[in-house]
A and B are shown apart, each in its own frame.
Chain A
Amino acid sequence: MTPWIRRSFASLGVLIIVATSTVVMADARATPLPPPTPGAADMASETLQTLAVHPEWLRLLHYRADEGIGGRVRFRSAVEDARFFLAPQGPSDPYAELTATLQHFHTSDDFSDDSANCRFVARRQWLAQQLGITHWDDPASRCALYQEWRTMIRAGRATLVFPGYHLNSPSSMFGHTLLRIDPIDDASWTEWLGFSVSFGADIRQQDNSMLYAWKGLTGGYPGNFIVTPYFEKIREYSKIDNRDIWEYPLNLSPIEVDRLVTHLWELKEINFAYYFFDENCSYRLLELLEVARPGLDLTSEFVLTAIPVDTIRAVAREELIEDTVFRPSRAALLRARIARLPAHLVPHIQRLAADPDFVNALWFDDLTPIEQALLLDAAYEHHSYRNRKKSATPALAQQSHAMLRALSERTAPTPPIVPRPAPPEAAHDSKRLAFGGGEIDGQPAARLDFRMSFHKLEDRPVGFLTGAQINLFSADFSLIDDTPRVERVDLVDILSLTDWTPLFPDISWGVRTGVDRVQALPGRPLVPQVEASVGMSRHFRDMVVIYGMARARADHARQNDDPSLRTMAGPAAGVLFSHPRASLHVNADRLFATSGQRWDRADITASWHASRNLALRLSYHHENDPRFPSHQSWSLMTQWFME
């Protein structure tokens, strides 16, 4: 123990004794401190030891306890930022941090905006409360910047917000969560004025997708909390990304929300390591909720992954959710606007947007005022949707203005009603374990597969986007004649089958990489591979998807002990029927290798969704290389979904 620390202990011990005795407390500031006695110091040290491992202290400093060898508990803070700690060994020593913090609060009269007194407001509040200290100045009255911020963030209520899935951006395919802070009991308030609180990776460089994925998985990015006006989030998700937004007002009391926001201030510009899978946006928000309501345990169940929707379910289980609010995306509203348009007007949507002088066009003049208003309403939204990612040009701006002006001169149609889909938390859980058996080339085979996350086309579709498949890490195993084999490992398997229509000409695409067996080759070699597809899909009644794609594949297949890189390409097609009770997916492709060989594959998968997290799956797989006997396998498996 260094002399400095020992000195701190002695003086702290005294202070605590003084502070906790209510009689002395009133004039603690005026009375000179009595000299320390050994007994008092011991007792104080004991109090401090207890406080240092108090769950609330550990949470405020984001410590996690790991049990090491011999049951010795080691602490490590998730914060990777020296500015967050007052003791040099603070990141791994809650006790050292506690004593250094107390020492600082007792001795420092620095209340500048960057001072520890003004930054660590929740620690200050908590310690004062625990030790019964009343003479510490309140940061709320002495710290200008903090004061200003608290005035702006009118914290009374908190809402958990889940921007839904978004197909065409891999980084947001899992969804996302954030919090919104609103004042309490203000009739003049609108949610657009609230503040959003989100945690995200700070990606400064324009990293490419692969690097993004790698760094995201390994903690290569720093993550920090960001507070922005909520309407900017609505714009970002609803308008730019076409994501529906789900809002879950929480039953946190104003005092609990106050505690949350007080702690949030401590995290301003503070870096955590960001891990895409577990310590991500959603995990850190759970930590904030745990600070808000002591005794709440939300994070301990998330060890490997904290998938946003799973965290919503965890919050729901703790009975924090009061209500569910659905905010359809601008694109969903646009589709509803188009759907209610009389059929003969639909072809005019793009015509209107393309004609700067539509008001004087004969065809437009022929429409009734009601038709004109309905058409303008839809055409404006479509124009806005199509150009949402372009930079403004005078022509685009003028066309928008002309359409809105014309709309304002007519009776605007009421906003359309978008039917509320099943909420994301009603979906099956994110991990999947399946067990069963069947045959591989006529031989009985037991089958086992595991998927870390998240959703395959044949799975129960409730709560997901139609035609979206995203899996990160899945592994299939077989057992034939007591010989276990890896059948396939997918690191990434994404299929994005977006409905193509003249007004929404979105392409479909897919990528898959990992190792799989080329069943058609003798010896069924296990090969590393990467596949990419691009094409078109059509959706019918949100239940049937038909798709056709061009597919390319590269793999490394060993033939005659001679490893060779194969590159191949060809057509792929499929039909998916998807219903909350059952699904059927039929797909096939035919690839031609640059060496001239042909390879055909076909799959039929039927699933019966017995309940949210239980399904029975029957699959058949066929492969053919004209040079060799064809391959066939089938299996019947029971699938369990779990968090």
Chain B
Amino acid sequence: MKKIGFILSVSIFFLFIHFVTSYAQKRPEGKLVVFHAGSLSVPFAMIEKAFEEKYPDVDVLREAGGSTKMARLISEVGKPADVMAAADYTVIDDLLIPRFTDWQVRFASNQLVLCYTSKSRYADKVNGRNWYKILQEKGVIWGQADPNLDPCGYRALMVMQLAERFYRSPGLYGRLLASRSEAAIRPKSVELISLLKTGNIDYAWEYLSVALQHGLKYVRLPDEINLGNSEFDSFYRLAKVKVTGRKPGTWTVKTGKSCTYGVTILKDSANKEAAVAFVEYLINPEGGLRILQESGQAPIIPCLTGSVQMYQALPDVLRKLVRPQ
């Protein structure tokens, strides 16, 4: 009788310790829904794996698409998500702030390149000086993402607008648009890759990181027009593209800016703990940012945010990794 009583009390003691410590640790667990840009697919797959190794009780569920489309899934369709990582932080500003979140953290940059394969027409001739002539050649099929659904789409249009000014070729933008095949517009920029690889299209506007990740050939463009160098922001600003607004029939204007990716945690997140842990891992220079760098995408170290108010709205653990404005 005494023995049983002893065993029972020891067990209860250990159970008590377990609950107290697990409550105190508050380890992240459960499902974590992450919406992200298609161009982040490859690095985010690696980040998911590393994060799940660090926090084995969390199940990260990623869904990729054009950033605008993913943001609208949250704002218009009401699809539940915990974290949203967009290829353009202004997508978060325009569609999600202030109803669904109060802040965004800018964590990576990118630049646009013209991708092709060895199967593409004029693959052996195309370079940084003649690309805009080759795109206009008869028989060349080139594609881009849908500007209304994917930032890569309107950024491609901006590059072409800037090219008109840079190469001092009036009407170039119009001529390039006329040579574009409507069939080669896809809602998500990374869909163009399979079309390139199967030889259905010759050239596609993609991010440099995506070209590197998928082993595609690419034409590097001058910094003045590739939306990759923030020093040229004043020139980039000359490009303006009209895209659809929140309702069909309404429009907003996007102004050219160097590609800056943004991430946020939604107010309605069902798993804030895991979400904060995930973003903390992502914007850590030794964690997610290093994976991004190794995947060919330049991270922003330290990460930035939009304003002092936005900095105050950040979760505590994230503030350490973000530079106050």
* A and B together in one complex: no
Interface, chain A (partner B; CB < 8 A) = none
